[in-house]
């Protein structure tokens, strides 16, 4: 019976190593600029962004996906009282 103890230990499941990443140190949420709501509701050819002050809807969609992934990956630091 005592001879079986080492064999039982050999069959135990070992936890996989945790992957450590510094992504949260190097990434951040990205901000974006939108046209006013009244301008966004107009048909697209009528949207004139003088001075390139607003991002395109496609860019905003991509930024929101990035920000959602960042929020899921990187926990917010605890707020100090």
Asked if 34 and 53 touch (Cβ cutoff 8 Å), the reply is no
Mean pLDDT of 42-70: 79
Q: What DSSP character marks residue 21?
A: -
Q: Which residue has the higher pLDDT, 13 or 6?
A: 13
Residue 5 pLDDT class (50, 70, 90 cuts): low
Give the pLDDT of residue 10: 58
Structural domain boundaries in the chain: 30-74
Is pTM beyond 0.85 here? no
Taking a C-beta distance cutoff of 8 angstroms, is the pair 73, 66 a contact?
A: no
Q: Phi and psi for 56 in degrees, rounded to 5?
A: -70, 160
Q: Do residues 60 and 9 lie in contact, with contact meaning Cβ atoms separated by under 8 Å?
A: no
Q: Phi-psi category of 78—alpha, beta or left, where left has phi over 0 and alpha has psi -120 to 50?
A: beta
């Amino acid at each position: 019976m005592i001879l079986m103890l080492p064999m039982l230990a050999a069959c135990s499941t070992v936890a996989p190593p945790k992957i450590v990443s510094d992504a949260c140190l190097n990434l951040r949420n990205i901000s974006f600029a939108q046209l006013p709501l009244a301008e966004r509701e107009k048909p697209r050819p009528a949207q004139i962004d003088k001075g390139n002050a607003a991002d395109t809807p496609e860019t905003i969609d991509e930024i929101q996906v990035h920000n959602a992934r960042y929020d899921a990956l990187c926990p917010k630091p605890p707020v100090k009282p």
